[in-house]
Structure 1
Amino acid sequence: MKKSKELISKTPSDIAEALGLTPAHAIEWELRKSVTKKIIEVVEKNSITVTKLAKESGTSRGRITRILKEDTDGISLDVLVRILGAAGQKIKLAYQKVA
């Protein structure tokens, strides 16, 4: 049996590299995490209900609940952005060359 090596990854870039994925995957993960954290922050700060956010974003309450628990597996980035918009937020993007 082949021994596996334990690897502690602290950043999305480390994880992508350890899994043999591209830097593009790490960038997507970072963006998804950032949008998800902002959704949670805005919902908590403004006491937005799951029902209201689901209705205004055109998605299910179950999906909103999952996002608020930071479970975004299978939820596309465009849905996260739409939910953030329904929560009254805009996204400003800045670009920089990957090292």
Structure 2
Amino acid sequence: MSTYTVNAYRINAYTVTIAGRERFDGEAPFAWVVDAIDIFDAIGNALRIHCTSQEETVEDVKLIGTQSFEGIPAADCGYHWNDERSSV
């Protein structure tokens, strides 16, 4: 797990899974790996990235809380994830 400190805040990697409009077509949700100080910060970062990159609004998306956690997915997780962590 990548961890570093910025302005006395410990920054960790978090995985946040978000389903957008594609869920109505049977497509899998997006898993975003982001840097954040806590899960709430991670959710905000992932929502911003998802809505911007997928041209969706917050009203279009659904957070999949059971698939959102501190850390990165395991190597054998069986799904693709988008690495949006900062390069520090």
The verdict on a shared fold, with TM-score over 0.5 as the criterion, is no
Which fold has the larger relative contact order, with Cα–Cα distance below 8 Å and residues 6 or more apart in sequence? 2
Greater share of residues in strand: 2
Given the two structures, how large is their TM-score scaled by the length of structure 2?
Answer: 0.31
Greater share of residues in helix: 1
Which one has a bigger Cα radius of gyration? 1
